[in-house]
Amino acid sequence: MAIIANAKVKTYPEPWSGEVVSGKHQLITDKPESFGGQDKGLAPYDFICSGLISCTMITLRMYAQHKWLDLGEFTVEADFNANKEGKEWVERRLSFATPLSEELHQKVLDICQKTPVTKTLLRSVEINTTII
């Protein structure tokens, strides 16, 4: 067993706000104003999307470097969706400044399905909670 990530959140005085610390990095989490927060930082589902798109970008750049490919500048964006029936899904979109060949287009789509965070989200995770 190996810990591959760690984060801690400390509450702020304002409802729903807190400071998330991971290693030497600090982020603010909050809820949007429409949910009673002050919108000072990312909401929890924003962190899920951020992790997914960050992993996608890094994995694609690593693949391109390994294969000596120039993907050029690109963006990755994601939306976390839910409906009234309880179904949840993510829509992920990639946009490349330079058009991709049909072969590379398909390869990029294949790689996106194999990124570590994608695989984790697709298989679901076990969450064990303790009070310390």
Count of Cβ atoms closer than 10 Å to residue 43 Cβ:
17
* pLDDT surpasses 90 at 124: no
- CB proximity list for 1: less than 8 A, separation 6 or greater: none
Question: pTM for the complete prediction?
Answer: 0.90
For 76-100, the pLDDT digits (tens) are 999 999 899 988 899 999 999 999 9
Length of the chain: 132
* pLDDT surpasses 80 at 73: yes
Q: Looking at residue 1, what is its pLDDT?
A: 82
